Structure 1
Amino acid sequence: MKAFDLKIFFLVLVVTGLSACGSNPTRVTEVKDGQVTPDQLYIVDCLLPPQIRQLGQNYTYASPRQPIKLPARECALRGGEYVAYDEANFASVAKVWQTQAQAGDAQAQTYMGELFEKGINGTPDYASAARWYQKAADQGHSVALLNLGNLYEKGLGVQQDSVKAIELYRKASGITDGNLELVTEEQMRKRRDQEYERIRLQQEVGRLKNQLTDVNKNYQSSLDYMNQANLEIKRLQGQLKVNQDDPTVKRRIAELQNQVKDLENKNLKSKELANALMNQISDSSEGSLALNTDELAINVISPDVVVTRGIRSVPVLDQSAERISLMGRVNPPAEIKALQLNNQNIIDRMNDTGLFSAELQLSPDDTPVSIEAIKSDGTKTIERFVVVRQPLPEIKPRYLSDLFTNRFRDDLGDFHALVIGNNQYSDFENLSTAVNDAEEIARVFRERYGYKTQLLTNASQMEILQAFAEYQKTMGKLDNLIVYYAGHGLLDGGKRGYWIPVDADETDTSTWISNEDITQFMSAMQAKHVMVMADSCYSGTMSGSTIRPLPEDAAENDILFTSRVKARTVLTSGGLQPVLDSGGQGHSVFASALLDVLNENDGVMEGYRLFEAIQQQVKLRSRLAGLQQVPEYSAIKHAGHEGSEYYFLPVKT
């Protein structure tokens, strides 16, 4: 099958679904005259014919033939020769670039390095790759610097040297030493005031919750004592039926009745105090707790439920803890016939104010919690969260100055999104969420981020390739492109990854679209940045060198400088494992996390921060669903990554 080297910029792709992998023979199909075939759309290594040039009036000469990467159809129209890169014709492909590489062309030298890294007959020659990369790196070629850094990082063809790798990455990206953020005194004062107010409210809510806990304990203790006292009164009244004149029994009954009356008055005041405390907690929590509403709801009052990037969780500070105490409220409490904590009935732990408390047994790992309240008419509500052993760090975007953000947005250029979702397959098992994922993500990119979007649902091989070819032809050097793909992903016998169009033949890999070919399209595009989001099985085969995060205190000018070089990054929903097609309330686990992060972002978020936030959610949600899924983020292998990042900036509202 043909493979080709192309350069694409700003591209994001996403693939979703659980699917099987296999190795299948390819099959030749008939092509009608004049018909455009998928093979004609792929990128190839093209050797253009020599140009006839004239020197003076009487002398003409032929210029050397120039190698270039073009779609096969365009190469043929320009009279060029090309070969399809595969294991059988490595030497032919290398010969296209060798003359120019030996003449000192850094781009050709980098291509030679990539060819050797890919390997002859599937066997990489990392030492030769490193030599060619070094030649181009000596000329400051950023792609070669990054590729060489990857070899040093992994010790492939060179002695492993992490320090050397970081130096090469830094040189490629141009990042200087981190500097402190420059802000005005007024901005600093506002930040300090906001932080002080946040801490004050947090302390106030904590104090009120402690008070409410004490009030509820006293209320519950009084109720328990009154229940016991009433039982004792009934027993003593039974004795009086036998001996009506027993003064001791009469005196004891009177004492208990007075105690019950006093406790009823005390609990009435406790009930009023509890309601007042709950109102204060609700007000101080800025609406995060709806403790007084007519709609059936469950609110966990203690411990605090933290919402981090869409994940409702309770961190456990004591790692050896075997259980924790829960306190909450069912509102309104009338007509509640059942209250369950992880399928265990705790209705006896709820009082007439709706307050309840219970002990939760913890598992050695994270503990999912489900609290369900059911009314007499069958109406029910459920509150879910996870008790986590390790607190989830809050991952925030960068908040840069308004002046810089406006300049940065203009400097980045235009943004485009190609969004693909495939559910209905002709020869593979159908998926359930891919189209829904694609439609919602297209909407978010269009409405929240201002992208020019193209949505393809249940797309064929030709439709996908034509879309890639059109972007390869029309993208300018300042354009940014996101491609989201949701559909099946497979591996062949050679462990090469593929995306599966809806018309793909299960027994014919030529009807699939390989990750190598997608990489070639991205390499050939003239956009500035490309990011691939691949939510599919085995999407990790696109991954290349590790992405180093920008320093937390990176100067604004450093961010601007690095954004002006090419980016070729890939965010995958997993490595070389199957991934979940559902589990995110109508979306895949990965797509649900992506939507949460994109919708919450209100600053400048680069690809690595997006990855950290999504990884946090996907790891936890997939674990609870019974399949461990760990996203990965890296440069796309052999796609021309020069060390920049992909940046997400919401449009102004």
Structure 2
Amino acid sequence: MLVVGLPPAPAVAAVRNAEDLLIVDCLLPGQIRKLGRQATYLSARRPVRTTQADCEIRGGEYVSYDRANYQTALKVWLEGAMSGSAEAQNNVGEIYAKGLGTAPDYGMAFQWFRKAADQGYGRAKINLGFLYEQGLGVPQDQAAALNLYREASGIEDELMYASVVQVQIRAKDEQITGLQEQVQAGEAESAALREQVRKLQQELAQRRGALQQTQRELAETQRRLADARASADDDLTRLLENQLVAQEEEINAQRTQLAALERQAGAGGAMLAGGAPMLEILDPVFVATRGRNTAVYRGGPGKRKIVGRVSAPQLVREITINGQAAPLTANGGFSAEVEVPAGGAQVQVAAVDQQGGRAQLDFTLLPQAPAASSAAASTAAAQAGALPRDVKLGRFHAVVIGNNSYRDAGYPTLQSAANDANAVADLLRKRYGYQATVLLNASRLEILTALNEMRETLKPEDNLLIYYAGHGEIGADGQGYWVPSDGVQGNPKSWISNAAVSDILDTLASRHVLVVADSCYSGTMTRASVPTFAAGTMAPEKWAGWVKAMAAGRSRTALTSGGVQPVPDTGSGRHSYFARAFMNVLQDNDRLLEGQRLFQEVATSLALGSMDAPLAQMPEYAPIRYAGHESGEFFFLPKGGGAATGP
């Protein structure tokens, strides 16, 4: 068969503006094909996901996501889905789950994810597991969710998920007696909470109005200051500079008050929705066993610190460890020391909320046994986290963004973002051998251009880390955004949405991508879908098999500094609390480090190091929704740390 009439694809598509670099569902024209000497025909059109500019130059048909609804997106993929393509079926499911231009239809999403999952498509299994875990479109079924996550990971033995060490605080006797009284009391409490949330929301609106007024006054003062400097009026200049400092301090105070009110309103909403605080142990790390929960640490018998955190700490009355009260910080962190004998110690961590609900986590804390034989020495090598000899991680690249200065006066100048970006890039280059691109005070076009260059140049064996430090926004629709240096307050079209970043990540050839955001990133799923393996507690062949499977899988994960709440700009010298914790972990690491353990160590460091932070900070780590995550993990390997080991 001869294919004719196909113009050569250009190396780089023409780019006129930032929108040209956004990812679209593109329907390419069919190929002109000739069969024998007589028959010439046009093949069916082919769907792809590519940039708007690339789709245009290849003569494709598209509707960009900013203007699309689910019908136009479905038009691209539905024919392939009906024909049985697992990729197309999963894409149709994601279109329904996203709810482009309309409310999400999780029932339809479930049907299409199921079709693709039945064909063994790993990405669809992850998506389907998320629906089961959250009860979206189907009855909630945690067991079914974990089974799907396990299938997608490709590993069944010695596999543990992060949700194992999270327990929800609930009243243990709520179904035993007095159900009717509890219902009536709950209704009264709900009414009181609704009124409290209403008042908080009113106060929040008033505070926002005051903040906007102060920002307008600040802009006017800046203008007058510029005029005074131009006219060389020293007295007026000093007066205006003092006013400027006072207004900036007032804005910072108002932002802190706003954040506190948002947390209070969010906590009230969570209670109305039936939510509850979550208790989690950060350090030491739990390992999978067939009996009691077990946590193992490197070291001998003696005192060992236990570090944990709770969500919504304002709703928690008390934390105890083995019956002794553990101080709870405003950020939700707590810690206490436990005496651990050679045979291990039994530990009970309990949390009680303001209504008397209780969560309890029991586990065995074990010191790591010393090596005593050649077999133990081999195990010790695996415990050190060395890279198995038959695993190749490929090259490592990074795009590091630090935005301090913003053109819009409504965004205050940050103090640490550029410092964080430079320091992170320097550490990645020198200690881990990364090829790092640094963008300081970057515009929307500059950020999207840098990400598109990665899309066009990276190979499947490459790894990409994207680090962003700067202002973040949450839109009226709940969508998270990064604010570029030319971003305009109140104009989401001038920002970069998490959805746009996720779409770019989806089209990258790189097998492993990690987004580290010292700002909000709300496009993640749940950490329960990330498989973990504690190096040092299993046989070397198990560790090697796990690393090999995770290196072969396609991963798209995000490590964020604080969910969707505001995070402090400074606090640890020239760096933010999060950046300092992130860099300390990478600097101290001397072995193969997976993303899940990076998160645990950063979260532990933050829980201990940011107790005096003005805002609560609870980092998150999870796969990114709709970015192409299937399984696998992101790894860090310091230079000289790749000594091969094997069974």
Q: Following the alignment from structure 2 to structure 1, what is the Cα–Cα distance between the partners of residues 330 and 115?
A: 54
Q: In 1, Cα distance between the equivalents of 2:613 and 2:525?
A: 26
Contact 1:540 1:572 in 2 (8 A): no
Give TM-score scaled by structure 1 length: 0.62
- Contact 1:150–1:545 under 8 Å retained in 2: no
Do structure 1's residue 488 and structure 2's residue 471 form an aligned pair? Answer: yes
- 561, 564, 567: which one pairs with 1:579? 567
The answer to whether the Cα contact below 8 Å between 1:399 and 1:604 also exists between their aligned partners in 2 is no
What corresponds to 2:328 in structure 1? 365
Deviations 1:329-351 (A, max 9, x none): xxxxxxxxxxxxxxxxxxxxxxx
Q: Which has the larger radius of gyration?
A: 1
Partner of 1:413: 394
Q: 1:510 aligns with which of 489, 493, 500?
A: 493
State how many pairs are aligned.
437
Match of 1:455 in 2: 438
Letter in 2 for 1:46: C
Query: Do 1:404 and 1:556's aligned partners in 2 also have CA atoms closer than 8 Å?
Result: no
Q: Which amino acid in 1 is paired with 2:551?
A: S
Partner residue in 2 for 1:46 = 26
Q: Which structure 2 residues correspond to residues 156-555 of structure 1 after superposition, within 5 A?
A: 156-178=136-158, 199=300, 320=324, 364-365=327-328, 388-389=335-336, 400=382, 405=387, 407=389, 411-427=392-408, 428-536=411-519, 538-543=520-525, 546-552=528-534, 553=538, 554-555=542-543
**Alpha-carbon distance, 1:366 to partner:** 5.6
Residue 423 of structure 1, CA deviation:
0.4
Asked if the contact 2:15–2:21 (Cα under 8 Å) also holds between the matched residues in 1, the reply is: no
- Whether the 8 Å contact between 1:566 and 1:644 is mirrored in structure 2 is yes
Contact 2:307 2:335 in 1 (8 A): no
Structure 1: unaligned runs, 5 residues or longer? 1-33, 180-194, 204-303, 310-314, 322-362, 369-385
Measure the CA separation in 1 of the matches of 2:637 and 2:366: 19
Aligned partner letter, 2:629: H
Distance of aligned partners of 1:456 and 1:399 in 2 relative to their CA distance in 1, 3 Å threshold: farther
1:558 offset after TM fit, Å? Answer: 2.8
Structure 2: which 5+ residue stretches go unaligned? 1-13, 160-295, 309-318, 339-348, 350-364, 369-378, 642-647
Q: Among all aligned residue pairs of Structure 1 and Structure 2, give the percentage whose two residues are the same amino acid.
A: 41
8 Å CA contact 2:89–2:113 kept in 1: the answer is yes
Cα distance in 2 between the residues matched to 1:198 and 1:157: 47
Question: Is 1:594 aligned to residue 585 of structure 2?
Answer: no
One-letter code of the match for 2:453? Answer: E
Alignment match, 1:291 = none
Distance 2:384 2:400 in 1: 30
Shift of 1:512: 0.9
What SS does the aligned partner of 1:523 have?
Answer: helix
1:543–1:633 CA contact under 8 A, matched in 2: no
CA distance in 2, matches of 1:173, 1:583: 38
Q: Deviations over 1:91-139 (max 9, x none)?
A: 0111110001100001010100100101153411111101000110011
2:50 to 67, 70, 78: 70
2:137 is paired with a residue whose SS is coil
Alpha carbons of 1:74 and 1:122: their partners in 2 closer, same or farther (altered >3 Å)?
same
Per-residue CA shift, 1:2-36, capped at 9, x if unaligned? xxxxxxxxxxxxxxxxxxxxxxxxxxxxxxxx871
**Structure 2 SS opposite 1:633:** strand
* Cα distance in 1 between the residues matched to 2:136 and 2:574: 43
Offset, 1:559:
2.1
Once residues 334 and 78 of structure 2 are traced to their aligned partners in structure 1, the CA distance between those partners, rounded to angstroms, is 59
Cα distance in 1 between the residues matched to 2:423 and 2:380? 25
Distance of 1:602 and 1:507 partners within structure 2: 45
- Cα distance, 1:398 vs. partner? 9.5
Letter in 1 for 2:577: V
Q: CA deviation at 1:306?
A: 7.3
TM-score in terms of structure 2 length = 0.63
- Per-residue CA shift, 1:426-484, capped at 9, x if unaligned? 11211010011111111111111111111111111111111011100111111101111
Amino acid at match of 2:474: L
Q: Is the 8 A contact 1:316 1:390 kept in 2?
A: no
**Distance across 2 between alignment mates of 1:577 and 1:367:** 14
For CA contacts below 8 A with separation 6 or more, give which structure has more relative contact order.
1
Residue by residue over 1:569-607, the C-alpha shift from the partner in whole angstroms, topping out at 9 and shown as x without a partner, is 111111121111111222111111101111111112211
2:62 is paired with a residue whose SS is strand
Structure 1 residues 541, 137: CA separation in 2 closer, same or farther (over 3 Å shift)?
A: closer
Partner of 2:90: 110
The answer for the alignment partner of 2:106 in structure 1 is: 126
Contact kept in structure 1, 2:444 and 2:486, CA below 8 Å: yes
Match of 2:556 in 1: 568
Q: Which residue of 2 aligns with 1:144?
A: 124
Change (3 A) 1:317 1:493: closer
Q: State the distance in 1 between where 2:81 and 2:512 align.
A: 26
